[in-house]
Structure 1
Amino acid sequence: MQRIHPMPFGTEITIDGVRFALWAPTASEVKLVLDGADQAMEIHEDGWYRLVSSHARAGSRYGYRVDGNLVVPDPASRFQPDDVHGLSLVVDPRSYEWSDTSWSGRPWEEAVIYEVHVGTATPEGTYASLVKKLDALRDLGITAIELMPIAEFPGRRNWGYDGVLPYAPDAAYGRPEDLKRLIDHAHELGLMMFLDVVYNHFGPSGNYLHAYAKPFFTERHPTPWGAGINVDGEGARFVRDFFIHNALYWLEEYHFDGLRFDAVHAIVDDSRPHFLEELATRIRQSIRDRHIHLVLENEANQARWLERHSDRSPRLHTAQWADDIHNSWHALLTGENEGYYQDYADEPLRRLGRALAEGFAYQGDPSAHKPGVIRGESSAHLPPTAFVSFLQNHDQVGNRAFGERLSHLVPQDRLALAQAIFLLSPQIPLIFMGEEWSASTPFQFFVDFESEPDLAKAVREGRRGEFKHFKAFADPDTAQSIPDPTDSATFERSRIDWAEPERSPHREALLETKRLLKLRKDEILPLLRSEYRGSRYTISPESMLDVTWAFAGAKLRLLANFGDRPMSIDIGNDVQVLWSNSGPSDGNAQLEPWKGMIVKEASA
């Protein structure tokens, strides 16, 4: 089977040759540069330049000469063999023969997500090498692989959030057909494939849209990265279509099963329908024959995007990353109270209880970290599966000065309690690569701007400047100890070591993760397939957390003692203890500090 997503820009192979199309409304002249020769392009309405070339074919190198001298790559390039400043390559999507013809995806409630950075997930750092790890992940209990952004970025090393050519899978990891083989094999094993995409900004190097398509950006909506993406002003129709087609391209041409939309709170839209609504609507209207899952990262905690139809299916977006759950856990486990943890450190257990029960800890509440900001909307009516929960992810590890994992910061017994609650709660769990065996390797912030020393210096100094408000780095000399993100050694330190699970204590940690994921599949998943009927939570003065989620099939109850003395609680005799680290119970649970249990009981 062959797959292609047709789109009005970029290249399309036709019977007459290759069609080239570029939206360049603020250019005076555009010529196609094809295999070293220039060809004039005809300008059409609304700033479109088009040309069908009978000389072009799959494998041809091309670019666009703008206003006489600047040669730029295609913003919709399908592949960039020579990085972001080089020429684009004509790709024939029909040259790959897919074997996953019977794949229709998996229901969302089955998702156990494994977040991966392709470049550091294996020694080789390629799509092809990642293929070899899929069997082990499937056997662990993982059901979905989520790739951090792979859109073409500058250099050979990057987290992916500096992408500038969103249609081109980065050449540092392999060719387009290598990525397709990864997805194909994942589907063969029953694994879903998700992709993290960035529609809120472009990276600082290799974005040439300013040179010929100024309406792509707007000064009305500034972002931390500069001018905002124009989704609601003059010319916004093309901008919206550029990203909507990008989402469809990954879902159709590459057969991804879902997308994670990065930091959508930075996409400001004063028009109707909102870009996020149109994006989800277009996707759901276009793909009806398989499961498609759309996940938001949204600091604003807007429950409106997560509403359900009467049949419990998502109206727009499937779920949101549950930062409130993570941040509450982190403040509770570590005692840290700087940066955004300030919003959770005041009452971490109360924040955690509300987030576990209702999804958001902040539901229209004022932020201490950002004075004057009111965060969130009511979310208690949403099912737990509307939230992706995690103890760690690329942000929460990598945005620390030294990229330490939670296992470096927290006593093992406390981390074990958090891990069990995390994996057996009814939210959708996300595991960051290596977390399953308590990897010793950090995940640090890294980039590659070797060819642009001024930019490299700015990033290096900016990284250290980010932490100057933290007490530990107030001393400039101490700040110099923060790893240099432009140094290749920082990248190399971040590679996970797949030999670790063969050694203690990593072997035991991996076995425990596997045991908990099997328990989730056997006992929690059947509940998630039934009707959700609401939740409740209480926190005793002695710091006993008690959360109950009610489903049509049964009630799931969490009890955990976060106080400093033993607690006794009546759980009744007609319950099934799914997990406990406190010993046997005969109806009256005795929980020592930092002990807990998860039980199932019949619904009323």
Structure 2
Amino acid sequence: MGITRAIGAAYTAEKGTTFTVWAPDAQQVEVIISAPETTSLTLQKEAFGYWTGSSDKVLPGARYKYRLNNETERPDPASQFQPDTVHAASEVIDHGKFTWTDENWKGIPLEKFIIYELHVGTFSEEGTFEGIIKKLPELQELGITAIELMPLAQFPGERNWGYDGVYPFAVQNSYGGPEGLKNLVNACHEKGIAVILDVVYNHMGPEGNYLNDYGPYFTKKYNTPWGAALNFDDAHSDHVRNFFLQNALMWLRDFHIDALRLDAVHAILDMGSKHFLQELQEHVSQLGEQLGREFTLIAESDLNDVRLLNPIDKGGYGLAGQWMDDFHHAVHTLVTGEREGYYEDYGDPDQLVKTLQHGFIYNGIYSEHRKKTLGTDASGNPAKQFVVCIQNHDQVGNRMLGERISQLVSFEKLKLVAGLVLLSPYTPMLFMGEEYGEDNPFLYFVSHTDENLVELVRKGRKEEFSAFSWKGEAPDPQALDTFQKSKLQHSYHQQEQQKQLREYYKELIKIRKAAAVFAQPDHSKLQAHFDKATQVLQFTHLSPTPHLHCLVNFSDQPQHVTVPQQAGSEWNILLNSSDQQWGGNAAGSEATESETNSFLLQPESLLTLQSKK
């Protein structure tokens, strides 16, 4: 493995605070302490351009900046807390003082993950870690086993999705800072819930980004949608890689995070002999061995490339999992009829069959939207490695009006798609509010202080929507109202239909946890068929017994369907989405089995069966 070195301000009771910063071109580096009193500490230059120094007089709570060449003062690139703004002083924190209560927590395996993606600022009324803690009993009762937090790295202002973070080591101050996050992780582990953190290693936000003042963190070799690429393979890249490796290890070691979701790894541009993602996995595995825990890395990628997942000894990067957009797009196009933008590559029902059985739809075939051949064969990879959903922050928030699927399809179809996600062989993920059909949108919002930057963001959003014929005016990302409209209402307590939908989700999750076929889900043991005449999808989990069989009626008409004899001789009905208890119009007897294995499916419904033997 490459160069590894601790960076930032590290406090211990024995040594006080040790400061380490990488600034290879600097001639002089000082730490300027501004609180509790003004003082300075001159750092010593070491190999590769690292500067370091210690003081037993600098205690937790001290505010500081680095002064470069006796003129430029900047916050610490590896700041662990920015209590004021992205432009203000960093603060020394003490990881040792926090009282952890999760010593018995050993984590949960990936195949047991039922993920709930949430945005801290909009999930609760408070918009803080404490607000999430108050609602953990509801998530536990729903059956969630892992929450996924959108990025927490300090960003400008108080409103942001998190992908404009500029201090990867600093927990957003308006959410509750480092201690607030630790309290949340403690509370989650106490309730048997794992914590996944979304981290961004493919770009940095614009406002408050002072990395260029320190060194060549960026390279001109490549460009990304966000500008110059981070330097993972050019001159001095060892130390940029170290910066992000140390970041990942900090979240897992110091905050007891269970898993990291790696944002848009296709934009981590690295042509070196060992890809950064492989090196990251090696370091994470080593930390897991040291601590006796298993940490999980899940990538987001639009390349459909199993190299991310394949073992390192077989030429892969060894990551545990990746998001699978193909599944979302196949389902979304079938239930909404949308075919614009990247959806033009989808809409054929046979694609849904393909993704259920083989993973990637684009597995080495031509993409009309991209005008090129895309993807690799994922049929040999374990099903648990693929995270699937019908909603996430991107697929909702990158719509011009931020409509959730509850605003796009009927109530019956909401239940249908929920069943497809939770009864698929893959690792399911819900987006906050999905479980009860939240009405409020999830819009794109920022709170930059640079008005020129705000105008660029507004312009960029409008250009992003040009491939779609969405009607209306794009909400202003900078407006406070845009953020407030995106907050969850948690209205299922007052609305009967929302309560029924949430109970239905609970039942689906209960089935997933109880059915033997999901103990080690295997898409190679799944059979699927779509009848285009009736618009009914059937898919069967064949191993182990008892088998699980799902019938999904996409049409707006009732359909009589016969389950093939070879799939099982007798069936019990586990769940009928059209039952009255789930807000449907059918009495339970309307879908009873007969000697011919024939069933009546209500319009836009899902019927789940389990073999009797």
Equivalent residue for 2:505?
Answer: 513
SS of the residue corresponding to residue 196 of structure 1 reads strand
Equivalent residue for 1:597?
Answer: 607
Equivalent residue for 1:281?
Answer: 282
Pairwise CA distance, 1:306: 2.0
Note the alpha carbon deviations across 1:62-106, whole angstroms, 9 max, x for none: 111123332111111111101211110001100101111111111
Pairwise CA distance, 1:408: 0.4
Q: Verify: 1:257 aligned to 2:248, yes or no.
A: no
Pairwise CA distance, 1:309: 10
Equivalent residue for 2:64?
Answer: 62
Equivalent residue for 2:456?
Answer: 458
Task: Tell whether the 8 Å contact from 1:571 to 1:588 is kept in structure 2 after alignment.
Answer: no
> What code does the residue aligned with 1:294 have?
L
Equivalent residue for 1:3?
Answer: none
Q: Which one of 181, 184, 206 corresponds to residue 186 of structure 2?
A: 184
Alignment of 1:158-557 (within 5 A): 158-214=160-216, 216-288=217-289, 289-307=292-310, 316-345=318-347, 347=348, 349-372=349-372, 374-449=373-448, 451-472=449-470, 478=472, 481-523=473-515, 527-529=518-520, 533-542=524-533, 543-557=535-549
Pairwise CA distance, 1:7: 5.3
Task: Tell whether the 8 Å contact from 2:43 to 2:52 is kept in structure 1 after alignment.
Answer: yes
Task: Tell whether the 8 Å contact from 2:571 to 2:593 is kept in structure 1 after alignment.
Answer: no
SS of the residue corresponding to residue 220 of structure 1 reads strand
Task: Tell whether the 8 Å contact from 1:355 to 1:361 is kept in structure 2 after alignment.
Answer: yes
Equivalent residue for 1:112?
Answer: 114
Task: Tell whether the 8 Å contact from 1:394 to 1:443 is kept in structure 2 after alignment.
Answer: yes
SS of the residue corresponding to residue 406 of structure 2 reads helix
Tell me the TM-score normalised to structure 2 length: 0.90
Tell me the TM-score normalised to structure 1 length: 0.92
SS of the residue corresponding to residue 107 of structure 2 reads coil
Rounded Cα–Cα distance in structure 1 between residues aligned with 2:526 and 2:508: 23
SS of the residue corresponding to residue 121 of structure 2 reads helix
Task: Tell whether the 8 Å contact from 2:277 to 2:317 is kept in structure 1 after alignment.
Answer: no
Pairwise CA distance, 1:330: 0.9
> What code does the residue aligned with 1:356 have?
L
Q: Indicate how the Cα distance of structure 1 residues 576 and 425 shifts in structure 2: closer, same or farther if over 3 A, else same.
A: farther
SS of the residue corresponding to residue 574 of structure 2 reads strand
Alignment of 1:563-578 (within 5 A): 563=555, 566-572=559-565, 573-578=569-574
Pairwise CA distance, 1:491: 0.4
> What code does the residue aligned with 1:211 have?
D
> What code does the residue aligned with 1:139 have?
E
Rounded Cα–Cα distance in structure 1 between residues aligned with 2:563 and 2:187: 49
Task: Tell whether the 8 Å contact from 2:154 to 2:166 is kept in structure 1 after alignment.
Answer: yes
Rounded Cα–Cα distance in structure 1 between residues aligned with 2:466 and 2:45: 51
Rounded Cα–Cα distance in structure 2 between residues aligned with 1:596 and 1:468: 35
Moved more, 256-265 or 225-234: 225-234
Moved more, 535-544 or 263-272: 535-544
Task: Tell whether the 8 Å contact from 2:166 to 2:208 is kept in structure 1 after alignment.
Answer: yes
Rounded Cα–Cα distance in structure 1 between residues aligned with 2:605 and 2:266: 37
Pairwise CA distance, 1:547: 2.8
Note the alpha carbon deviations across 1:145-204, whole angstroms, 9 max, x for none: 110000111111000001111111000101311111111011111111110111000001
SS of the residue corresponding to residue 219 of structure 1 reads strand
Rounded Cα–Cα distance in structure 1 between residues aligned with 2:11 and 2:563: 70
> What code does the residue aligned with 1:331 have?
T
Pairwise CA distance, 1:592: 5.1
Note the alpha carbon deviations across 1:305-343, whole angstroms, 9 max, x for none: 223699xxx982222112111111111111111111111
SS of the residue corresponding to residue 467 of structure 1 reads helix
Task: Tell whether the 8 Å contact from 1:217 to 1:228 is kept in structure 2 after alignment.
Answer: yes
- Cα RMSD (Å): 2.2
Rounded Cα–Cα distance in structure 1 between residues aligned with 2:465 and 2:518: 43
Note the alpha carbon deviations across 1:275-320, whole angstroms, 9 max, x for none: 111111221122132232221111001112223699xxx9822221
Rounded Cα–Cα distance in structure 2 between residues aligned with 1:564 and 1:125: 40
Pairwise CA distance, 1:553: 4.1
Rounded Cα–Cα distance in structure 1 between residues aligned with 2:253 and 2:468: 45
Pairwise CA distance, 1:557: 3.2
Rounded Cα–Cα distance in structure 1 between residues aligned with 2:526 and 2:520: 16
SS of the residue corresponding to residue 510 of structure 2 reads helix
Equivalent residue for 1:95?
Answer: 97
> What code does the residue aligned with 1:31 have?
E
SS of the residue corresponding to residue 515 of structure 2 reads helix
> What code does the residue aligned with 1:264 have?
V
Q: Which segments of structure 1 move beyond 6 Å, counting only runs of 4 or more? A: none
SS of the residue corresponding to residue 597 of structure 1 reads strand
Alignment of 1:31-180 (within 5 A): 31-35=30-34, 36-180=38-182
Note the alpha carbon deviations across 1:490-517, whole angstroms, 9 max, x for none: 0011110124433222111111111221
Rounded Cα–Cα distance in structure 2 between residues aligned with 1:595 and 1:471: 29
Task: Tell whether the 8 Å contact from 1:555 to 1:600 is kept in structure 2 after alignment.
Answer: yes
Q: Indicate how the Cα distance of structure 1 residues 531 and 301 shifts in structure 2: closer, same or farther if over 3 A, else same.
A: closer
Rounded Cα–Cα distance in structure 1 between residues aligned with 2:572 and 2:304: 34
Equivalent residue for 1:588?
Answer: 598
> What code does the residue aligned with 1:571 have?
P
Pairwise CA distance, 1:554: 4.6
Rounded Cα–Cα distance in structure 2 between residues aligned with 1:501 and 1:406: 20
Rounded Cα–Cα distance in structure 2 between residues aligned with 1:553 and 1:570: 17
> What code does the residue aligned with 2:501 have?
A
SS of the residue corresponding to residue 208 of structure 2 reads coil
Moved more, 353-362 or 547-556: 547-556
- Which stretches in structure 2 are left out of the alignment for 5+ residues? 578-589
Rounded Cα–Cα distance in structure 1 between residues aligned with 2:332 and 2:320: 25
Task: Tell whether the 8 Å contact from 1:115 to 1:147 is kept in structure 2 after alignment.
Answer: yes
Task: Tell whether the 8 Å contact from 2:550 to 2:606 is kept in structure 1 after alignment.
Answer: yes
SS of the residue corresponding to residue 466 of structure 1 reads helix
Pairwise CA distance, 1:208: 0.7
Task: Tell whether the 8 Å contact from 2:335 to 2:554 is kept in structure 1 after alignment.
Answer: no
Moved more, 29-38 or 43-52: 29-38
Rounded Cα–Cα distance in structure 1 between residues aligned with 2:156 and 2:477: 14
Note the alpha carbon deviations across 1:427-451, whole angstroms, 9 max, x for none: 11111111111011111000001x2
Equivalent residue for 2:585?
Answer: none
SS of the residue corresponding to residue 468 of structure 1 reads helix
Q: Verify: 1:579 aligned to 2:575, yes or no.
A: yes
Equivalent residue for 2:582?
Answer: none
Q: Indicate how the Cα distance of structure 1 residues 549 and 269 shifts in structure 2: closer, same or farther if over 3 A, else same.
A: farther
SS of the residue corresponding to residue 238 of structure 1 reads helix
Task: Tell whether the 8 Å contact from 1:531 to 1:552 is kept in structure 2 after alignment.
Answer: no
Task: Tell whether the 8 Å contact from 2:5 to 2:242 is kept in structure 1 after alignment.
Answer: no
Pairwise CA distance, 1:518: 1.4
Identity across the alignment (%): 39
SS of the residue corresponding to residue 442 of structure 1 reads coil
Pairwise CA distance, 1:49: 1.3
- Which stretches in structure 1 are left out of the alignment for 5+ residues? 1-5
SS of the residue corresponding to residue 222 of structure 1 reads strand
